[in-house]
Amino acid sequence: MRSQPSSSPSAPGVQGHAAPHWREGFAGLGPAFYTRLRPTPLPSPTLIAASEPARQLLDWSRDWLESPDALELLAGNAVPAGSEPLATVYSGHQFGVWAGQLGDGRAILLGETDSGFEVQLKGAGRTPYSRMGDGRAVLRSSIREFLCSEAMHALGIPTTRALALVGSPAPVARETVETAAVVTRVAPSFIRFGHFEHFAGRGQHEELRQLADFVIDRFYPGCRSDTRFGGNAYASLLNAVSERTAALMAQWQAVGFCHGVMNTDNMSILGLTIDYGPFQFLDGFDPGHICNHSDSQGRYAYNAQPNVAYWNLFCLAQALMPLIGEEELALAALQSYREVFPLRFEAAMLAKLGLAQPVAGDAALLEALLRVMAAERIDWTIFWRRFAHYRAGGPADPLDELFVDRTSWRHWLSAFERRPTGADAAAAVATLRANPRFVLRNHLGQQAIEAAQTGDFSGVHTLLGLLEAPFDEHPGMDAYADFPPDWASAIEISCSS
Ligand SMILES: Nc1ncnc2c1ncn2[C@@H]1O[C@H](COP(=O)(O)OP(=O)(O)OP(=O)(O)O)[C@@H](O)[C@H]1O
Ligand SMILES: [Mg+2]
C-alpha cells in the first residue's frame, strides 16, 4: 500500500520549485525486496559540502539544494513529496564466508527521480537489516566516502556518486565517541551481487527471476537479443556483469586504488565502485599492500583484487544458476572476465605509458617496470605523473630522482626508449590525462577529517575542488600532490565507520 509521507518540504526542481517526479523503480519489485520506513531524524544538521556535478546529474536546482528544506531532506528529517523511502534486503559473502542476510542496515533509499537516478541516504538510521548496528555513519568515514565518490568519477572510474555531506553533533560510539553524518548517494541502481545471492540462498527462485529481469530490462537490455550462450539472457547478464567488473578492476589497478572490503555485498551489479570504507590509494608501490586494518590475511590486498572480483563473480554465477540452468553456460559467461581483465589492464597501463598501439614485448616491459618500482616502493601517483610530464616532452631527471638504484631504473628507461613509439605523439600528450596529479591519499583525507572534527570544513572543500579536476595542475597546490608524510604509514583504517 502506498502511504503518504507526513511532511513534504518544498521539493527540488530545475527551476527551484517544480516538484521532481519520483518513479516507481526498484520499489516496483514488491515487498519481498525491501521494507518501507522513514529515515531517523538527525538533530541540528549542517550541510558540510555538496557536489555540483552530482547536482547537475539529478537536475535539482542549486538554490533549492542550499535551502533549509533541502537540508531537512538530506538529513533524513523530512521526506519529499512522492518519495516512499525503503531499505533493501541482500545477503553476501564476507571475507570469503557466507554471512547470510545483511541488507541496507544504515542506507535508506528515497527513490528514483525523473533523471533515472536513485537517491539514497547513508547513515540515516536503523532499519530491519541493521543487526547490531546503530544505523549511523560517522563524520570521519562519511567525509572519505563523499570525497572519494566524486574523486573516482572525476578519474573516469565508474562509481556511486555523492551529492551531499551533512553533519550533526549527534554522538556515535565507535572506538571513541564521534559525531554522525549522512552522505546522499546517487546511482542508477544500488543493486549488488548480494541481492541475487539473497534470493538464491533462500530458494526464492521467482523473486530471483524477477530481480534478474528487472536488471536486464533496465540496465542490460541487449541480453535479450544476445544469441551467444544459447540465447540464455541470464547467462548473457552474467557475461555483461563480468565484463563490466573486469573493466572496473583494470581501472582500480591502474590508478592504484585498493577497495579494502570486496565482499559480495559490496559488488555492484552495474560494475560501479560501491562502499567507500577502508579504501586507500597506493602511496609507495607495494603489490601486496593491505589497506584494511581488519584484513589480517590480506584477502583484499591490492594485487589480490582482480582474482577476488572473479571469485565474487563466481558467487554471482552460483546465485544465477537456477535461471541459467546449465553449468557450461555459466562458465562460458564467466570466461570473459579472464579475457577482458588482462586486455583492459594492459590498455590502461599503455595509456599511462603514453602508448596508443600495443607491440610485442609490451607485457614484459610493463612487468619489468612494476618490478623496478616495487623493489623501491616508488610512489605510485608521483611516479606516473612525472612519467606523464616526461612523455609530454619533459626531462627524465624528476623520474631519476625517485630511485636510489638508478641502474635498474635507467636500464628500464633505455628499453622503453628503444621501443617504437613513432605513431604515439598524441598518446604522449594524452598521458597527462591518464595519470592524475591528485588522488585522495589517506593523509590528505585525515587532515581534512581532523579539521572537520573541530568544525573547520575548509579542508573538505579544498580537497573536493582538487579531486573534481585531478588531472589539472592546480598551481600553488603542490602540497596536495606531494609525498605522504612519515606519519601517513601509521594511519590505520579499519571497517569501523
Ligand atoms: N552502523 C551500522 N548500522 C547498521 N548496519 C550497519 C552499520 N554498519 C554496517 N552495517 C551493515 O553491515 C553490513 C556490511 O557493512 P558494510 O560496511 O559493507 O556496508 P556499509 O558501509 O554500511 O554500506 P554500503 O555497502 O551501503 O556502502 C551491511 O548490511 C551494512 O548495512
Ligand atoms: Mg557495504
Residue with the three cell numbers 579499519? 494
Q: Does ligand 1 lie within 6 Å of residue 424's CB atom?
A: no
Whether the predicted pLDDT of 211 surpasses 90: yes
Over range 346-355, report the average pLDDT.
94
Cα 162 to averaged position of ligand 2 atoms, centre (Å): 15
Query: Rounded to whole angstroms, what are the CA distances from 74 to 5, 36, 181, 271?
Result: 15, 18, 10, 26
**Using CA positions, which residue lies closest to atom 21 of ligand 1?**
275
> Annotated binding residue at 266?
yes
Check: CB of residue 11 under 8 Å from CB of residue 80: yes
For residue 354, give the DSSP letter: T
- pLDDT confidence bin for 5, thresholds 50/70/90: very low
**In the block, which residue shows the cell 582474482?**
307
What band does 204 get if pLDDT is binned at 50, 70 and 90? Answer: very high
| Residue 178 beta carbon below 6 angstroms from any ligand 1 atom | no
pLDDT of res. 421: 77
Average pLDDT along the chain: 94
Return the pLDDT at 494.
86
Q: Name the pLDDT band for 2 (thresholds 50, 70, 90).
A: very low
Give the model's pLDDT for residue 7.
Answer: 43
Check pLDDT > 70 for residue 3. Answer: no
- 52, 181 contact by CB (below 8 A): no
pLDDT surpasses 70 at 425? no
Q: Give the mean model confidence (pLDDT) for residues 222-236.
A: 98
CA 399 vs. chain centroid, Å, equals 30
Q: Does residue 70 line the site of ligand 1, with CB under 6 A? A: no
Q: Does any ligand 1 atom lie closer than 6 A to the CB of residue 181?
A: no
Which residue is it, cell 572525476? 154
| pLDDT band, residue 18 (cuts 50/70/90) | low
Condensed to tens digits (0 to 9), the pLDDT of residues 333-345 reads 999 999 999 999 9
The model's pLDDT over 132-167, given as tens digits with 9 standing for 90+, comes to 999 999 999 999 999 999 999 999 999 999 999 999
Question: How far, in Å, is the centroid of ligand 2 from the Cα of 341?
Answer: 24
What confidence category does residue 104 fall into, taking pLDDT thresholds of 50, 70 and 90? very high
| 17 has a pLDDT exceeding 60 | no
Average pLDDT over residues 318-328: 98
> Which amino acid, 97?
V
* Res. 6: pLDDT tops 50: no
Burial class (CB in 10 A: 0-12, 13-18, 19+), 311: middle
What DSSP state is assigned to residue 273? Answer: B
CA of 477 to the centre of ligand 1 (A): 35
Q: What is the rounded average pLDDT of the residues 167-191?
A: 98
Question: In this structure, are residues 26 and 88 in contact, taking their beta carbons and an 8 Å threshold?
Answer: yes
Indicate the burial class of 315 (C-beta count within 10 angstroms; 0-12, 13-18, 19 or more): buried
Q: What is the pLDDT of residue 429?
A: 74
Please give the distance, rounded to the nearest whole angstrom, from the Cα atom of residue 390 to the centre of ligand 2: 40
Is the pLDDT reported for residue 201 higher than 80?
A: yes
**Is 410 annotated in some ligand binding site?**
no
Question: If pLDDT is split at 50, 70 and 90, which confidence band does 357 have?
Answer: confident
CA–CA separation, 394 and 364 (whole Å): 25
Give the per-residue pLDDT at 74: 97
Q: If you average pLDDT over residues 56-71, what whole number do you get?
A: 92
Task: Give the model's confidence band at 10: pLDDT under 50 very low, under 70 low, under 90 confident, else very high.
Answer: very low
User: Closest ligand to 162 CA?
Assistant: 1
- With a 6 A CB cut-off, is 277 part of the ligand 1 pocket? yes
Q: Is 372 left (phi over 0), alpha (psi -120 to 50) or beta?
A: alpha
Q: Name the least confident of 41-45, 301-305, 492-496.
A: 492-496
Give pLDDT, residue 20. Answer: 65
Q: Ligand 1 within 6 A of 275 CB?
A: yes
What is the reported pLDDT for 14?
A: 44
CB atoms within 10 A of CB 187: 20
Which pLDDT score is estimated for 164? 98
Q: Establish whether residue 133 lines the binding site of ligand 1, counting it when its CB lies within 6 angstroms of any ligand atom.
A: yes
424 as an active site residue: the answer is no
d(CA 325, CA 186): 34
User: Is residue 483's pLDDT more than 80?
Assistant: yes
Q: Looking at residue 19, what is its pLDDT?
A: 56
Share of the chain residues as helix, strand and coil, in percent rounded to the nearest 5 = 45, 15, 40
Average pLDDT over residues 75-80: 96
As a whole number, mean pLDDT of residues 372-382 equals 98
**Domain-by-domain residue ranges, the chain?**
22-193, 194-351, 355-433
Model pLDDT, residue 423 = 56
Residue whose CA is at the smallest distance from ligand 1 atom 31: 105
User: Length of the chain, please?
Assistant: 497
Ligand nearest the Cα of residue 123 is: 1
- For residue 32, which of 173, 168, 206 has the smallest C-alpha distance? 206
Closest ligand to C-alpha of residue 122 is: 1
- What is the amino acid identity at position 381? T
Q: Read off the pLDDT of each residue in 195-219 and give the average, rounded to a whole number.
A: 98
Distance 366 CA to ligand 2 centre (A): 34
For residues 229-257, give the mean pLDDT: 98
The pLDDT-based confidence of 431 (bands split at 50, 70, 90) is very high
State how far the Cα of 389 lies from the Cα of 352, in Å rounded to an integer.
11
- Among 13-27, 135-149, 427-441, 449-463, the least confident range: 13-27
Q: Which of 104, 265, 283, 424 is catalytic?
A: 265
pLDDT (mean) for 474-480: 98
Q: Whose CA is nearest to atom 25 of ligand 1?
A: 275
